[in-house]
Amino acid sequence: MTEIESLSRPKPEVAQSYPFNALVVLPYTSRQNTSRQKQKAMTYYTDLALSAGLIALRVRHQAPRIILPGEYENPSTGDIEKESLIKRGVNPEMVEVIPNCNSTLEQLRVIAKKINSGQLEKVGIVCFSFHQRRVREFLKGLGIASTCHIVEVEQVLSDFIKEKTRGESSITKEDFIKTPTSWQIKLIETLLFLISKTDRVLFQSRFPLTQYLKTKIGLNITDYEKLESLKSG
């Protein structure tokens, strides 16, 4: 049993206060699971984000529950993430899946609706450092920046490992995202950040440029399989 698996084993519930009403884990890219044809699966990045969310939930006790806005439906990527959390001992009642949120903007819009309707007051947004600049622009445009706090995936994971090794680990935040396609993802994220910032300044919450790109390019601009094909090509 790994450290992350063991930390999610059920524990007696105690009354306590949390810094957030909920943690929102943003998925990052998608791919086909080759073992199950036409079945979507978590990417390396989404799995890391989910692990960081689990640590924030069970070790840091930052919130009583996790919200998973997932891409697609039947199943959504959120359903696959929830299944993974349940296998690691998380109570299903602590996990909410919102399907068919097919972009970062759509994922944050559903959270904004929950905040504006009074369902949430303080939210921890679990995302990567290279993703957070774009996320912050969306939070500002949607008017929920003061309600949402970024929980950086790399920081959570590196801190957890250092604590478990009593400071002997030399792993850094950057080590978690060093993959063959990381330079492409960072380049795409820089371009998307500039577009989202322009969108917010000119159009506030509407983000028409972001929506136009999504419509023209497809469901997931940062699609894992497209990046892999670029690398192999």
Task: Output the CA–CA distances (angstroms, integers) from residue 172 to 1, 45, 109, 155, 159, in the order listed.
Answer: 24, 16, 32, 9, 9
Residue 119, pLDDT above cutoff 80:
yes
Higher pLDDT, 33 or 52: 52
Residue 138's pLDDT band (cuts 50, 70, 90): very high
| Predicted local distance difference test score (pLDDT) of residue 91 | 96
Closest CA to 53 of 17, 30, 31, 28: 28
- What SS3 state is found at 147? coil
Please provide the distance, in angstroms rounded to a whole number, between the alpha carbons at the two ends of the chain.
Answer: 39
Interacting residues of 203 by C-beta distance below 8 A, sequence separation 6+: 141, 209
Residue 54, pLDDT above cutoff 90:
yes
| Predicted local distance difference test score (pLDDT) of residue 152 | 95
Q: Can you tell me the mean pLDDT for 27-42?
A: 58
Q: Taking each helix axis from N to C terminus, what angle separates 182-203 and 208-217, rounded to the nearest 10 degrees?
A: 140
Residue 15's pLDDT band (cuts 50, 70, 90): very low
Query: Which region among 14-18, 58-62, 144-148, 152-156 has the lowest average model confidence (pLDDT)?
Result: 14-18
Farthest-apart Cα atoms in the chain, separation: 55
Single-letter amino acid, residue 202: L
Q: What is the pTM of this model?
A: 0.82
Single-letter amino acid, residue 66: I
Residue 197's pLDDT band (cuts 50, 70, 90): very high
